[in-house]
Structure formats: C-alpha cells, structure tokens
Structure 1
Amino acid sequence: MSKSIVANRYAEALFELATEKGQTSVIQDELLEIKKAFQANPDLGELLENPRFPLAKKKELLATLFKDANSLIQDTLFVLLEKKRINEIINFVDEFRGFVNDAAGIADADVYSTRPLTDSESAAISSTFARKVGKQSLRINNIIDPTLIGGIRLQIGNRIFDNSLVNKLERLKRDMIGS
C-alpha cells in the first residue's frame, strides 16, 4: 500500500460512495484495469500532467479512454485531474484496494517459493498467516524465486516471514562466525 495521504483521502471518499451504492467490487475491478492502463502507458500520465495541454482536452481524453467506466470512477478521475492530482492514480487505486481488503478481512500477500504452490499449499499458508496479521484470509500472489533453495518467504504489507533454506543457512553462518 502507498504512503500517500492525498491518495488515501480520495480513495476513502470513493470507497464510502461505492459502499453506499453496493458497488465496491465492480469499482475495484475497473480501477485495477485503469491502473494497468496508466502503468502500461506512462506517457498518458505525463500528458495529463502537462500544463500546456488544456484541461478541457484532458477531460475529453479521459472521457474517451474510460467511457465504459463506472460514473463514480469517471467523476473521481475528473476531480483528480482538476485538482492536479492525476499523478496519484496508481497510489489511489492501491489505497482503494486496501479499503476493500480491510472491509473484507483480506490482506494481499506475496509468497516467494522455488516452485508454484498447489491450491492446498496456498490455502494452508492463507489460513495460517492470515491469523498472524489479524485477517480472515490472504490473497496470495505466488512468485517463483529459485534462489531460496527451499522453503518460502512471505510478505504481507511491511511484514516479512522468511522460512527459506537460504535464510536458515545465513543464520547458521552468522551463528558459527559469532561464536
């Protein structure tokens, strides 16, 4: 999750509106697609931040690009544009997702392993570590990292649980050198 206060405020406002209208899931899905669009096209963000490009043209561009998006999202994009905060779009989407996750008792987790995890392994990791961070479940993103040699490394927010063989060997090495 980002550390942007501005993005957090806008995300919280949209989350409250989306919750009132029962549209959090739909809006989250659409926002993730918008995030992908901005990440895949960094020139888009630069163009929308360019002071030489008139605000009316910027709005027209956004309206064209995201014509099928939910009206709450379109309105939010226009507000971000008008307030010269469109550069916060990635952080904004991450913050919104954080609000949705918190409401559902879910946390995102990156699980590093030497091979793809099976469904049962993912479920076991989710149930075990979700309790440790006060959540009901984890949304696992499995990342293959052969340098671990064995075991797993798990990152949930700013918390890291490292049970990899390479980490165990490092600890053993430090213990042997230290004694």
Structure 2
Amino acid sequence: MSQSTAASRYAKALFQLAQEKQLLAQVNEDLREVKLVFEKNPEIFQLLDSPKLEDKEKKELVSKVFASIQPIIVNAIKVLIDKKRIHEVVSMIEEFIRQANDTQGVADAIVYTTHPLTAEETGRISTAFAAKVGKNALNITNEIDPTLIGGVRLQIGNQIFDSSLSHKLAGLKRTLIG
C-alpha cells in the first residue's frame, strides 16, 4: 500500500502513545499480527470499509476480532473508522513498525532458505547481518524457497545478500559462457 501523510500522522500518534504507556514492544508485536489479519482476510477489511454497515457495527466487529490485542490499537482502528480512513490501516501499521524499528535499532529481514531455520540459526543470522546494516538486531521472517538448492538469501529493506547455491551456479554459468 502507498504511504500517505494521514497514515504517517496516525502512526506517529499511536507510536507516541505506546511510548508514553511503555507498551512499544507489545504494540509493535500486536500490530504485526493485525497486519497479517488484514492481509490474509481481505473480507474483514471489506466489511470495515463497507458503507452498508454502520460505524457502531464496524467498531463492535473490531472489538471482537481484535479482543486479545492492546486496547490502544483497537482504539486507533476505531478512530480510522470514525474518520473514514480504514483504508489507511495497513499503511499506518507499516509506518508504526518502521518508527519502532528505527527507535529500537532493529530492521526487518526476510531470510529465504530451503528448510525452516532453527532458533540458533536465526540468532546467528541476526547477529551477523545486523552489524552489516548498522542495526542492533534483525526481526527475521523465514521463507522457504526450494529453488535456492542450498544456502540462504537475505533481504533487509532494499539490500539483498545472496549466498545461495543457485546464485553461485548462475554466477559460474555467466563466467563460463561469457
């Protein structure tokens, strides 16, 4: 989703509130889950954006669906409903996560491997690559990609570190063929 000024303002307000209440880590974690809910269940988003439902019903739905998350997040989503900006929710979450990551010296990373990573492997990758990008740690999401043949490919923002066997074979092929 595109980043709008409104989403940035809502994210900043939520970020400041989370910091004041010393809930930054919990809110950050909960927002990642909320983002997944909206991305994997577009029908929820469609219901919240539908003019057929009244705002009161939309807010009740939000309270039920997100009952287990931090109340300040539920309230932020309700404000978006009131202001007719529910379409900004994912952009707001992405901006909040970016601000939280910057404050905590953390970066999000996607690690592509041929098999699921163990906790030890995840920790070693986080330690090794966080320093390369000037961060304290990495939030790692492990994606399985059997086309790699072996090794890992790591994406941190717009940087890609590729030590996969398929990448090395492609390089060898370019060298041999010219």
Which residue of structure 2 aligns with residue 112 of structure 1?
A: 112
State the shift of 1:68 in Å.
5.2
1:52 corresponds to: 52
TM-score (structure 2 length as normaliser): 0.84
Identity between Structure 1 and Structure 2 (%): 48
1:13 partner amino acid:
A
Q: Which moved more, 1:124-133 or 1:47-56?
A: 47-56
Unaligned runs of 5+ in 2: none
Q: What amino acid does structure 2 have at the position aligned with 1:143?
A: E
Instruction: Answer with 34-43 or 153-162: which moved more.
Output: 34-43
The Cα offsets for residues 11-61 of structure 1, whole Å up to 9 and x where unpaired, read as 122011110111112222332333333334322211211123222332333
- Tell me the secondary structure at the aligned position of residue 147 of structure 2: helix
**Closer, same or farther in 2 for the Cα pair 1:30/1:138, shift >3 Å?**
closer
Measure the CA separation in 1 of the matches of 2:103 and 2:20. Answer: 13
Instruction: Using structure 1 for the length normalisation, give the TM-score.
Output: 0.84
CA distance 1:116–1:54, shift in 2 (3 Å): closer
Counterpart-to-counterpart distance in 2, 1:61 and 1:115 = 38
Deviation at 1:3, TM superposition (A): 4.5
Distance 1:52 1:115 in 2: 45
Paired position in structure 2 for 1:4? 3
Residue equivalent to 2:29: 29
Give, as a single letter, the amino acid of the residue that structure 2 aligns with 1:102: D
Where in structure 2 are the equivalents of 1:65-144 lying within 5 Å?
65-67=65-67, 69-144=69-144
- SS of the aligned residue for 2:141 comes to strand
Cα distance change, pair 111–49 in 1 and its aligned pair in 2 (3 A): same
User: What is the SS of the residue equivalent to 2:10?
Assistant: helix
